[in-house]
Structure 1
Amino acid sequence: MTDNTKMFNELFYELEHCRKDKQRKKIGEMNEIIDEMNEEEHKFVFKTELYNKMNKMIEKKKMSMENATWMLKHIGYCKALKNVWNRCFEYSTLNERFERMIIEEEKKKEEKNKRLLIDLCEFYVLLNDNINSEIISICVPCLLKVASDKEESGETRKEVEIALLALSNIENYFLRQELYLKEITEIIEYQKKHRNLTRLAYWSVWDFLIHRLLADNSLEEVIVNELHFSREAARELEELTRNVNWKKKEEEMNKEEAKEKLTLKRWLETFSIYFLRCKLWNEENAGVINSIVQVYRAAKGDNHRGISDWCTYPLRNASENRVVKINDLLKGRAVEAVLEEIRQPTLDDNAMRNCLYFFLNVSKRLKRKTNNEANEAKRIELKRKIFENMEEEGYEDTITSFQELLSFSFEKNILLIYL
C-alpha cells in the first residue's frame, strides 16, 4: 500500500455514493493518480475484484457508462504505455459485459453509437492480451478509422495515439491482410510526408505491422521495399536518441521525457523482432545497426544501463540473420559496441548471453568457405577486419575462450544458466 494506491482506493469506493457530475470529477482525480503509478502499484490496484465491483456499479446504475468508459480507457492507456503485464481484466465480469456490448453495438444499423463503439474497442483492446477473432474483426477496422484521422489538433493527435497504441497491443498474429494493410500503409505514407503523428503513435503503427511478420512473411516486400521500414525506423531512433536527456536519472525525468525513453526502448524491441523474422535483404540494414549502436553509446552510463543492455538483443538477432551481411555489422560498428559491452564491470546476464551469441554467430558465418573466388576473398577480408578489431581491443584470446565455453555448454548441457 502506497500513497497512490491508498488515495485511489479511497476515491474508488466513494464513487457509488456520488452523483454523475461529482463522480466524473473524482474519476478525473483518479486518472491523475493512475498517471503517477508505477508497474507494481498498477498491479496492486487493478485486480479482477475491482473490475467486478465496477460491473456491479454499472448494473445498479451507480456508475454511468460514460464515466466507466472514460476511466477504463485511461487505465488501459497507462497499462499499455508503461508495459504493465496484468491480465486481471480478462477474467472479470466487466470484460464479459463489454464483449457483449461491442458485438451488439456492431450489429446495429441506423442506431449505432459510433463514439461508444470506439471507446469500447479502445479500452477493451488496451486491457486485453487475449482477444477472440470475432471481437478483433470488429475492433481493428474501428481503431484504424480513428487512426486515419488527419486533423492536427492536439485532441485528435491524442485519440490517434490511443487507437494505434491499442492496435500494437493485439497479440493475435493471424489477421487477414484485408482487415488492416491498406489503411496501415496509407497512415505510414501520410506520416512520411506530413509528420502528423506523435512518436509513440508512429512506433505503434510500425510495431503492429512488424508483429504480423510472425505469421505472414508475404508482408516482407511491403515492409522492406515499399514502406522502407529500416530507413524510417533508424531516423526515428536517432531523433529519440538526441531528445532523451541521458544525464538525468529515470526518476528525475518528467512525464514526457519518460515517455520518450519508453518509446526508444520499444523501438529496440521491434528491431529485435524485425531482425529475427525478416528474411529479405535490405541495403539500409547498416544504417539501422548504426542507429542502435548510437543508442548504446548514449545510454552506456550508470543512469540508463538497462537501455544499453537492451541494445544487445537486436544486435544478436542481426548477427544470426543471414540476410544481414557481416559487412553491415562492421559498417554499423556493431562489433565495436559488443566488445565495449563485454568489458562492462556489471554486465547483465542476458546482455552477456547476447554478446556471446553475437560473436558465435559471426564466427560460424565467417568459417563457411565458398567456391566463388571473389566471395571467398571477401570472406577472408571480413574475417581479417574483425580479428584486427578484436586484437586492437585485446579481446582475441577472450573471444576464443568464449567460443570454447559455448561449445562445452552445448555438448554437456551444464552451463545453460549462462546461455
Structure 2
Amino acid sequence: MINEEKLSLEKCTLFLKCVGYCKALKDIWNDGFQFSSLKRRFEEMIVKEDEKKEGKDEKLITDLGECNLFFGGSTSLELNSICVPCLLKVALNKEENEEAQKEVEMALLALSCIFSHFNIGRDLFLNEMKEIIQYHEKRHNLTRLAYQSAWWFLIILSFKDQKTIEVIVDELHFEREAARELDELMQSVDWKKKEEEEIKGKGKNEELVLKRWLQMFDNFFVTCRKWNEECSGIVESIVQVLRAANDYRREIYKTCIYLLRTSAEKRVVKVDALLKSGAIDAVLEEIQQPTVDDEIKYEILQFFDAISRRLKEEEKDEKKDAKRKVTKMEMFDKLEEVGYEDVIISFHGTIDFLSKKYHFRLSLNVSDCFVNI
C-alpha cells in the first residue's frame, strides 16, 4: 500500500506506533513483523537516512526505529547504534507539556522492547538514562509508564554487565524507587473489581503499569547478584500486592508467589529479610488453604526448598553463622507453629506429579522440604 501510494509513510508509522504502544503495554507477543518485507524496508530506510550527509531526518529515523522495536524487539548492532541515540534524544526532552510527555513515553516504551543486551553497549545509553531517571526524581516530569520503561530498559541491558548493575543499585537506588512506585500504584488500582469485569480509565492503565513492574522484578532478581539492604523494600511491596490481589487478581497473585520464589532462589534477598517482610507468612497462609492450585503449590514448595538449602549451608564467618542459626530457629518455629510438616506430608502424593509436570526435581523426602535444626 505504501509502494502504491495508497497510504503515506507518515500515516503508516503513526498507525504502527499506536498498535505497538498497546501491544507493549498489554504484553502481547507476535513475531510476524520480524519476518516481513515491511521490516526489511524500514531497516533499509533507517540506514539510508542515516547515511545522508545533509538534511538527515531524525524524526523519520525515530518513528521507524520505534516501529521496529515495538514489533521486532531486538535489532542489529548497526540499527541500534543509529536508532537508540535518536530515541534517547527524544526521551531527554524536559518539556512538561502533554505532547512532549507523550513523545517521551513512546520513545522510552519502545526502548524497553529491546530484549537483547548483545547488540548494544553501555556507552550508547548509560549516561543518558542516568540523566533521565535522576531528573525525574527531582522534577517528576515523566508519566508512570515512561518512568517504568526507563528502568526496564536499564535492567534488560544490565545482564552480565557489572558496571551497569552497580549504577542501577548504588547510584540510582532502583530498589528504593521501585518499592515507592509500586506502593503508589497500588493505591490507584480498584482491587475489589474482578478481573473479568471491564475496567476503564486511569485505574486500568495503572494496573497494567503495575504488572510491568512485577515482570521487571523477575529480570532484576536474576540479573542482580549483589545484596542491598534496600532490596527488602521490594519484597515488602510484593507481599502487599500479593495480599491485595488474593481475592480478585489471581494472575497478579501467582506472579507475586513466583517472584518470592525467585528472590529466594537467586539469593538477592536474605532469609531474615523474607521473614521480616512478611513473605513467609503470606506464603504459609496460601499453602494451608484447603484447595491449592498445582502451579502455586509447586512455586511454594520450591520457595521453601530454596530457603531450606540456604539455611543448611555453613558460614565461614562466626558472626554470620551465629546469625544464620538464629534465623534458622525463627524459621523452624514459624513452620512448626502452622503445621508445615503436616502440610508437606499431605502433598506427598502430588510431589512426584509436580516434579514431572514442571520438569524440575522436588524431593519425595519430607525432611528435604523442612528446615532441620
* Same fold (TM > 0.5): yes
User: Is contact 2:116–2:156 with CA below 8 Å preserved after alignment?
Assistant: no
Distance between the aligned counterparts of 1:115 and 1:416, measured in 2?
Answer: 47
Q: 1:372 to 1:313 in 2, by over 3 A?
A: same
Residue in 1 that maps onto 2:96:
152
- Pairwise CA distance, 1:296: 0.3
Q: 1:264 aligns with which of 206, 210, 218?
A: 210
Deviations 1:146-196 (A, max 9, x none): 111111111111111111110010012122111100000111111111111
What displacement does 1:252 show? Answer: 2.5
1:386 is the counterpart of 2:348: no
Q: Is the 8 A contact 2:236 2:279 kept in 1?
A: yes
Give the match for residue 331 of structure 1: 276
Determine if contact 2:221/2:268 at 8 Å carries over to the other structure.
Answer: no
**Are the aligned partners of 1:353 and 1:418 in contact in 2 as well (CA < 8 Å)?**
no
Match of 1:107 in 2: 51
Tell me, what secondary structure is at the counterpart of 1:243? coil
* Contact 2:126 2:164 (8 Å CA) reproduced: no
The C-alpha deviation readout for 1:262-282, integer Å capped at 9, x for no partner, is: 111111111111112211120
Segment of structure 1 superposing worse, 203-212 or 313-322? 313-322
Deviation at 1:402, TM superposition (A): 6.2
The one-letter amino acid of 1:386's match is M
Q: 2:189 aligns with which of 239, 244, 249?
A: 244
Out of 178, 193, 200, the position equivalent to 1:254 is 200
* SS at 1:100 equivalent: helix
Contact 1:309 1:348 in 2 (8 A): no
Shift of 1:356: 1.1
Local SS of the residue matching 1:318: helix
% same residue: 50
| Residues 136 and 348 of structure 1: CA distance in aligned 2, closer, same or farther (over 3 Å) | farther
Q: Deviations over 1:45-64 (max 9, x none)?
A: xxxxxxxxxxxx11111111
Q: Which residue of 2 aligns with 1:185?
A: 130
Distance 1:309-1:196 versus aligned 2 partners, 3 A rule? same
In the alignment, which of 198, 219, 229 is matched to residue 164 of structure 2? 219
User: Runs of 5+ in structure 2 lacking a partner?
Assistant: 362-373
- Measured against aligned partners, the alpha-carbon deviations of 1:24-51 in whole angstroms (never above 9, x if no partner) come to xxxxxxxxxxxxxxxxxxxxxxxxxxxx
Q: Distance in 1 between matches of 2:348 and 2:99?
A: 55
- Kindly indicate whether the alpha-carbon contact (under 8 Å) linking 1:231 and 1:287 is maintained by their aligned counterparts in 2: yes
**Match for 1:343 among 288, 291, 297?**
288
Q: TM-score, normalised by structure 2?
A: 0.90
Other structure's SS at 2:6 match? coil
Distance 1:266 1:235, change over 3 A: same
Measure the CA separation in 2 of the matches of 1:172 and 1:236: 26
Segments of structure 1 that go 5 or more residues without pairing to the other structure are 1-56
- Report the Cα offset of residue 229 of structure 1: 0.5
CA distance in structure 2 between the partners assigned to 1:295 and 1:416 by the alignment? 26
Local SS of the residue matching 1:390? helix
For 2:122 and 2:360, the matched residues in 1 are separated by 40
Tell me, in whole angstroms, the C-alpha distance in 2 between the residues paired with 1:74 and 1:390: 50
> Which residue of the partner structure matches residue 244 of structure 2?
298
1:277-324 CA-partner distances (Å, limit 9, x unpaired): 2111201121111010000011111x2111011001221111113342
Residue identity opposite 2:141 in structure 1: N
Residue correspondences, number? 359
Q: Does 1:66 align with 2:10?
A: yes
Shift in CA distance, 146/335, structure 1 to aligned 2, threshold 3 Å: same
Tell me the CA shift for residue 139 of structure 1. Answer: 1.2
1:125 equivalenced with 2:69 (yes/no): yes
CA distance in 2, matches of 1:200, 1:414: 39
More relative contact order, 1 or 2 (CA 8 Å, 6+ apart)? 2
- The counterpart of 2:312, out of the listed 346, 350, 367, is 367
Q: Distance in 2 between matches of 1:132 and 1:165?
A: 19
2: CA distance, partners of 1:344 / 1:97: 55
The superposition leaves residues 63-113 of structure 1 with CA deviations (integer Å, 9 ceiling, x where unpaired) of 112211111111111111111111111222211111111111111232112
Q: Does 1:80 align with 2:24?
A: yes
Q: Distance in 1 between matches of 2:346 and 2:158?
A: 36
Report deviation, 1:130.
3.7
Distance 2:210 2:292 in 1: 21
- 2-side partners of 1:66 and 1:291: how far apart? 43
Q: Does 1:229 align with 2:170?
A: no
Deviation at residue 418 of structure 1 after TM alignment? 7.6
Q: Which residue, out of 215, 221, 244, partners 1:275?
A: 221
Q: Does 1:143 align with 2:87?
A: yes
Q: Which structure is higher in helix share?
A: 1
- The amino acid across from 2:207 in the alignment is K
CA distance in 2, matches of 1:286, 1:215: 22
Alpha-carbon RMSD: 2.2
Give the Å deviation of 1:396.
3.3
Partner residue of 2:322? 377
